[in-house]
Amino acid sequence: MAFQLPDLPYAFDALEPHVDARTMEIHHGKHHAAYTNNLNAAIAGTALEGQSIEQILANISQHSPAIRNNGGGFYNHNLFWEVMSPDGGGEPSPQMNIAKAIARDFGSFEEFKKQFSAAATTRFGSGWAWLCTDADDKLFITSTPNQDNPLMDIADKKGTPILGLDVWEHAYYLNYQNRRPDYISAFFNVINWQEVTKRYNAANEGAMK
């Protein structure tokens, strides 16, 4: 059973002016589609065809670079579209578990924003910034190169990603050119905190410790 490119959960222009329609169209229809097609080609005829993407990523050190790059690209963009929304932005509502966890583990939303933005800004070259939850239900920020992610067994810091920001130039160059910090700042206007808290709750079975 082949992996499928998901539909975007909103129109190409829905995130404007923060993310422009042309970038969304190419990013989803060309880049994400290519990762999906190349992943399917790389696993065709192997035992991996029956595995979930999470299973494949958890054992990625045993697989080829094509599976690492395209499997990561497939998973990362699936998450990325979902954690943005035209109705997003601002801070999560105080009653959301993710708001409580951010306050608990970073001290304040502003401190979280500062650390996440720094991770995204300082990732040299192409990669991703992540907010993750670990096995002890503690939040942490990390970044990964290329299409790696914290689900991979080769990751420096492993955990469950609940928010991710693509800092490849293909994600922002048409609108922001070299101004990656402006793109990162704009991302905070479209974060879908409902989705992030849903992913946080799922990873931790909804339990606040």
Site residues, Mn ion (CB under 5 A): 166, 168, 171
Cβ closest to Mn ion, residue 27 vs residue 199 = 27
Question: Rounded to an integer, what distance in angstroms lies between the CA atom of residue 35 and that of residue 114?
Answer: 31
- For 28-52, letters b (16+ CB in 10 Å) and e give beebbeebbebbbebbeeeebeeee
CB of 27 to Mn ion, least distance (A): 6
CB atoms near residue 55 (< 10 Å) = 11
CB of 66 to Mn ion, least distance (A): 17
Cβ closest to Mn ion, residue 79 vs residue 196 = 79
Structure tokens given for 109: 């939303």
Which residue number is nearest to Mn ion in terms of Cβ? Answer: 166
CB of 107 to Mn ion, least distance (A): 31
Q: Do the beta carbons of residue 196 and residue 92 sit within 8 Å? A: yes
Cβ closest to Mn ion, residue 98 vs residue 131 = 131
Cβ closest to Mn ion, residue 75 vs residue 106 = 75
CB of 26 to Mn ion, least distance (A): 10
Q: Specify the amino acid at residue 84.
A: M
Cβ closest to Mn ion, residue 168 vs residue 200 = 168
Q: Which of 74, 66, 69 minimizes the C-alpha distance to 33?
A: 74
CA R_g for the chain: 17
CB of 35 to Mn ion, least distance (A): 8
